[in-house]
Structure 1
Amino acid sequence: GWYAWGVVISGCFMLMFSMGCVNSYGTYQTYYHLHQFPDEPLANLAWVGTLQFAVMNIFGIPAGILCERMDTRLVTFVGGVIMAVALIIASFCDSAPWKLILTQGIVFAFGAALVFVPSTSIPSQWFTKRRALAIGIVVAGSGIGGLWLTPATRAMIDQLGTGWALRITGIIVFVVNSIASLFMRGRIKVKSREKIVDMSIFRDIRFILICVGATCGMCGYFTPFFSMPSFAEEIVGKSNSFGNDLLTVINAASTVGRIATGEVAATFGTINTMCMCTFVAGLSILVLWLPFETTGTLIACAIIYGMFCGGFIGLIPVVLAELWGVHRISTIIGLLYMANFVGAMVGAPSSSGILDNIGH
């Protein structure tokens, strides 16, 4: 009914600012590296974006537990407050990168976990037939967020500096998330006598294989988001604005991919579609980005990678709901996000270290 679609739209707006901020961090990283902290190794600055996603995933389990035991509307509201406060405090941390790692990275990620897990798990409780489409619309919010947050952040940084860019973003996060949280109500309650976390799922080989796949996928997932803008500037010779425009292209394609793959999965199956998306996303990097230093191939890579990496992210909650149902979906997603944490911690810092020591 109408309330179910209200949950979907609310989740979309929540991911717009939680994952959207993560997806647009490349704009901050480029500015930090070229202007604010020019003597700081790129690998150190990459830890902000890495920890945003990694810590958000490691807090997935406690966030899932809170969703099952408490009113998810309260959980998501508190998460929005923490995200907003973290960004506002980060706006005053312009003297050392470690302060940004703590505020814009870790504290922001803790709040984002309280928003991200409910947003990707609760909508599954309200849908059966159109579940893949519903989740696709929800996770498209992160692509939409990155789509407009990237140029908006660049404009705010150019006109007002990073401090006010972070403060304005924090205020918007608080207002939008507070309104959206009013609709994020769970449909299924877990009985108090049930286990807080059911670890028996680790005896299921299907879950182990999904965790391994998620870890491998996350090792490289954010590298184009963080490194493609600097590649465009340093290797292809493009302007700073063009590098940031590539982030906009990736996020736009990702938005389309997350929604479209929901419909494709209804025909070809969610697992088949997710595997296809993962394969094509990885292939686009190997075929279009690595061998060439031209504008055309870089844009093509941004479009194809964005389209298919969006499908990989969008279908994971649907696969989990299909295999294990929606009763304990929040904690199951939280457990899987532990695998995402491992991949994120390995991937982005490693690629940034390679950039510092070897180059593009």
Structure 2
Amino acid sequence: METERDAYDGQPLYAEREDVPPDGGYGWVVAACVFLINVHTWGVNSSWGVFLAHFLSQSQFENATHLQYALIGGLSISQALLVSSVVSTSNDKLGTRASLAIGTLLISVSMLASSYATSVWQLFLSQGACFGYGMGFLYITGSAVLPQWFSKRRSLAVAISSSGAGFGGLAYNLGVGSGIEQLGWRWTYIVLAISTLLANTVCVMLIRDRNKVVQPQRRFFDRRLFAHVSTWLIITWGVVTDLGYITLLYSLPNYSLSIGLTARQGSVVGAMLSLGIALGRPPMGYWADRHGRINVAIFTTAACGVLCFALWIPAKSYAVLIIFALTSGTVTGTFWASVVPVTAEIVGMQKLSLAFSMVCLSLVLPTTFAEGIALGLVSSSGYLSAQVFVGCMYVLGALSIWGLRSWKVRETDDDELREREGRSSLAVGTPRAYTKFWLTQRGLFLRQKV
């Protein structure tokens, strides 16, 4: 029997009048700030592929292995996700701006410390762990704040802000490649420390949240969320596509060297992947708001897998590799461009921060070892095995989000049935009674905005 309150978490069981975000106004300033945060976190992090190619070709640190270098890049992302619960606590206890300030300081310190590294273990601590913690405080905080300002344009706003990762990657891949040639890698790190400090400080000063109105849940973990089929489908989507995404992000410059291109050409290839991310995400967000956020996520995730098989495998020349990097970049980061709006559709705004932090925790292991797995495949059987691996991961990711679509259609049908019977609709994110019949032909193939 249904009760007045949901025993799951104390939230209203029935749908109540929800807060209506301004869908613009100062929200666009917040979107611009999150855009800059992505430029100076994900964008800077993507330039690790250029550093990686340089360190591998020059044998920069004595006795350092390819696997160790690969783990540094994976560590920077995994640590950003690992601290998600700490970030949630910081946002609750210290506030949004204080959390962003902590992240800004950690990012700049990590870049400065990397410039003084004399052995690979020091890069593990600076470029890997410290940078990852800083990125977590900045990215996770910004990702939780931005959706509070939008409803109908939520996917567009998130996509525009997440395109900062692409623009940043473009600028920093080219800048780091040029900086290493002209200044050396140590001074290049110092320049990165200064630029990240200045840009992220501006964001700290301008960003605002709507926590008083939205009243997000303050818990940083709830194991009962893992009882939801929808949660596991989102996690599966993230795990498998991140294995492919990080491999592409870090391996393309080194793959360029393996087919006889120069280090400079390799950095341009990495930059073209970032340009594709920058150009592809805003249209993706627009179409997601118009045709359904889950629908567009299915299509773009599958498209990246197809491009890996159709273009990356036969890419043996500079021109073809440029085309692959640019086209695949438009869809390669679908998960990170879509996960916040999609998760909001599934759990609602009040549970979004909690659910997102838990999804981030589940991605720690795959993001840590993705590039290590790829380099292991390359060393044992060449790049073909890594290329097939990446393509298969994106296809599997598309299947998991396709299953999520069926679950969401089943939820919508259930709400429509309750309305016809004169009963109140359940609030978004309320546990449903059905568990066996959510995967249906109607859910998979029905032409519907989802």
TM-score range, shorter chain: over 0.9
Deviations 1:69-106 (A, max 9, x none): 4310111011100110111011100x211110111111
* 1:286 matched residue in structure 2: 309
2:107 aligned to which of 83, 86, 109? 83
Task: Give the fraction of aligned pairs with identical amino acids, expressed as a percent.
Answer: 24
Secondary structure of 2:333's aligned partner: helix
Matched, 1:177 2:213: no
* 2:390 matched residue in structure 1: none
Give the TM-score of the pair, scaled to structure 2. 0.76
Q: Is the 8 A contact 2:90 2:99 kept in 1?
A: yes
* 2:223 matched residue in structure 1: 199
* 2:237 matched residue in structure 1: 213
CA distance in 2, matches of 1:309, 1:64: 27
Q: Is the 8 A contact 2:147 2:154 kept in 1?
A: yes
Report the Cα offset of residue 198 of structure 1: 3.2
* 1:58 matched residue in structure 2: 82
* 2:13 matched residue in structure 1: none
How many residues get paired? 358
The code of the aligned residue for 1:78 comes to: I
The code of the aligned residue for 1:54 comes to: S
Question: How big is the alpha-carbon RMSD for the aligned residues of Structure 1 and Structure 2?
Answer: 1.9
Matched, 1:255 2:301: no
Instruction: List runs of 5+ in structure 1 lacking aligned partners.
Output: none
Report the Cα offset of residue 23 of structure 1: 1.3
CA distance in 2, matches of 1:193, 1:121: 12
Secondary structure of 2:210's aligned partner: coil
* 2:417 matched residue in structure 1: none
Give the TM-score of the pair, scaled to structure 1. 0.94
Larger helix percent = 1
Q: Is the 8 A contact 1:257 1:308 kept in 2?
A: yes
CA distance in 2, matches of 1:343, 1:197: 20
Secondary structure of 1:150's aligned partner: helix
- C-alpha spacing 1:24/1:194, structure 2 compared with 1 (3 Å): closer
1:323 aligned to which of 342, 346, 349? 346
Matched, 1:70 2:94: yes
CA distance in 2, matches of 1:39, 1:296: 35
* 1:44 matched residue in structure 2: 68
Deviations 1:99-118 (A, max 9, x none): 10111111110011000101
Q: Is the 8 A contact 2:76 2:131 kept in 1?
A: yes
CA distance in 1, matches of 2:93, 2:379: 45
Secondary structure of 2:211's aligned partner: coil
Give the stretch that moved more between structures: 210-219 or 184-193: 184-193
Q: Is the 8 A contact 1:71 1:185 kept in 2?
A: no
Deviations 1:253-286 (A, max 9, x none): 1011111100111222111111111111122112
The code of the aligned residue for 1:217 comes to: T
Secondary structure of 2:163's aligned partner: helix
Instruction: List runs of 5+ in structure 2 lacking aligned partners.
Output: 1-23, 384-450
1:114 aligned to which of 93, 112, 137? 137
Deviations 1:40-84 (A, max 9, x none): 322211111110111111112221232244310111011100110
Give the stretch that moved more between structures: 132-141 or 177-186: 177-186
Structure 2 counterparts to residues 1-360 of structure 1, below 5 A: 1-35=24-58, 36-37=60-61, 40-93=64-117, 95-189=118-212, 195-235=219-259, 237-360=260-383
The code of the aligned residue for 1:230 comes to: N
The code of the aligned residue for 2:81 comes to: N
Deviations 1:3-37 (A, max 9, x none): 21111101110111111111111011011111124
- C-alpha spacing 1:230/1:197, structure 2 compared with 1 (3 Å): closer
Q: Is the 8 A contact 2:216 2:349 kept in 1?
A: no
- C-alpha spacing 1:120/1:192, structure 2 compared with 1 (3 Å): closer
The structure having more radius of gyration, on CA atoms, is 2
Tell me which of the two structures has the higher relative contact order, counting C-alpha pairs closer than 8 angstroms and 6 or more residues apart. 1
